[in-house]
Amino acid sequence: MIVDFHTHTFPDKVAPKAIGKLAVISGITPYTDGTVADTLVSQGKTGVDVCVCLNIATAPGQEHTINNTAAAICEEHKGHLVAFGSVHPESPNALEELERIKELGLPGVKLHPDYQNFMVDESRMDPIYDALAQLEIPTVFHSGWDCYSPDKVHCPPVLAAKVAKRHPKLKMILAHFGGLRRWEDVLDYVAGIPNVYMDTAMAATYELSYELAGKILAKHPLENILLGSDCPWEDPTKSIAWVEGLPVSDDQKEAILGSNAMRLLGL
Ligand SMILES: [Zn+2]
């Protein structure tokens, strides 16, 4: 069973514009056209059984529609795609929306500190983190460097570690192996914190060395490591091959490719 914990899809109507814009910002040629249909085709080609589609409310007020769409995707593609919900921290009803996310049955939430303009350790985020922990909603954070905000990292490993320790019941999935292009800091500050999960998205593209990855994994619970591709920004075939090269046992590789995610998602 292979689960890709980090993919992005967009509603058909907005996909061309959204993907076009992000392709320019990132300088990366997308691997899909961003639609659910094309993501399912790519999933078929790469041997991924279940895709986790991460949605982000980039403005307050978007979350209601995004979460309803996510619920519809989960229902329509049961067993193949699951979609996470989102809230914008500046939305006046963010806390109520988290309760609605739980009622809708969405398996998790994604927050993007760079796109949503907050520092991960800001105290105004604490009520949201408390609610996520209390509702037992696993939460993905974009972590480390981002091409959208290249000069200011909104979720550096040192601050993500502070939040994880302040909210020990919050399951924090720090995308991009704990912090894109900040991996020395992941080793120093994040590795070993039990409520932190990490996905492998973009580790291959940005060339996280197996030596450093091995040091991080030696300190961190291996059951908290999840395959991610960031598809359409990395070909999942490349992400899977990268995991297969990690300096861990075959059983552990299998767990990273699928069963760790299945357990976290309660599938
Ligand atoms: Zn992503």
CA of 22 to the centre of ligand 1 (A): 11
CA of 214 to the centre of ligand 1 (A): 23
**Cα distance between the two ends of the chain:** 11
> What are the φ/ψ torsions at residue 76 (nearest 5 degrees)?
-70, -35
Residue 213 pLDDT: 98
Residue 177 pLDDT: 98
CA of 186 to the centre of ligand 1 (A): 18
∠ Cα 185 235 33 (to 5°): 120
Please report, for residues 174, 195, 221, the alpha-carbon distance to residue 113 in angstroms, rounded to integers and kept in the order given: 12, 19, 25
Q: Give 85-140 pLDDT, tens digit per residue.
A: 999 999 999 999 999 999 999 999 999 999 999 999 999 999 999 999 999 999 99
In this prediction, residue 148 has a pLDDT band, given cuts at 50, 70 and 90, of confident
CA of 76 to the centre of ligand 1 (A): 22
C-alpha span between 259 and 267 (Å, rounded): 9
| The pLDDT of residue 25 is above 90 | no
CA of 133 to the centre of ligand 1 (A): 22
How many Cα atoms sit within 13 Å of 152 on the Cβ side? 9
Token output for 182: 């900040």
CA of 53 to the centre of ligand 1 (A): 9
Q: What residues sit around ligand 1, an ion, with C-beta below 5 angstroms?
A: 230
C-alpha span between 150 and 217 (Å, rounded): 27
Residue ranges of domains in the chain, CATH in brackets: 3-265 (3.20.20.140)
